[in-house]
Amino acid sequence: MNRLVTVSREYGSGGRLIGAKIADRLGVPIYDRELIDLAVEKSGLSREIIESAELQAKSGFAYSLSNSLGLGAGLTTEPYSVNEELFTTQFEIIEQIGKTGEGVIIGRCADYILNSIPDVTNVFIYGEPEDRIRRCVNDYGKTEEEAKKRIIAYDKARANYYNYHTCQKWGDYRNYNLMVNSSFMREDEIADLVVQFVKNRKLKVAEGEDHDQKK
């Protein structure tokens, strides 16, 4: 059974924590910061360079500039070459994870990278603005004003990064199998919902395969 889930999320929605709970319930590895370790090993680049490139990706400036100029992936100029190398490295790593059929991958355009796998489950977690602000204040130690600015900045950066590399729209329902508003369910409940969705979906896939074989 394929136990492969990608989790995209709005900042402050709890998506990373929910992803960890999904991985724990499915008994599979989670890949978030772990992808940096794998990228260091695969690329030969130093951790400092890769972490710097990740921070640039989070700032979203390079991708915002490219999008505003109408440039697509691979058309950036030399200063962004490290970012492109990091994306290519992570792309290849995520493809390899996809071939194992097991894992929960947080962000990094994983839904797009694994779109050729028919039974991967792509999840998008979002939340009401006031609840996301409250999480940033309570869990991340930010003031309310800092939380508001951080939510806008991080969501913009994630959208720019995703839109640039995929030529799709971040948060568009057509790119996901399941979209959940975390304001109306606890993290554990959402994790249980996703796991049940994965199991039911696998059952439907298996039933479809059996039906095809009987034809």
Task: Evaluate if residue 125 carries a pLDDT over 60.
Answer: yes
- For tokens 């979906």, what's the residue? 201
- Of 62, 65, 106, nearest in space to 84 by CA: 62
Ordered structural domains, the chain, with CATH: 3-202 (3.40.50.300)
- Report the chain's mean pLDDT, rounded to a whole number: 86
pLDDT band at 43 (very low <50, low <70, confident <90, very high): confident
Token representation of residue 48: 């400092």
Task: Evaluate if residue 57 carries a pLDDT over 80.
Answer: no
CB within 8 Å of 188: residues ≥ 6 apart? 21
Helix (H, G, I), strand (E, B) or coil at 12: coil
In this prediction the pTM is 0.84
Task: Evaluate if residue 204 carries a pLDDT over 90.
Answer: no
Q: Are 14 and 124 within 8 A, CB to CB?
A: no
Q: What does the pLDDT look like over 148-185, one tens digit per residue? A: 999 999 999 999 999 999 999 999 999 999 999 999 99
Better-scored residue on pLDDT, 51 or 179: 179
Task: Evaluate if residue 100 carries a pLDDT over 60.
Answer: yes
- Of 45, 80, 46, nearest in space to 60 by CA: 80
Least confident of 33-37, 38-42, 45-49, 64-68: 64-68
Angle between helices 34-43 and 47-59 (to 10 degrees): 130
Task: Evaluate if residue 50 carries a pLDDT over 70.
Answer: yes
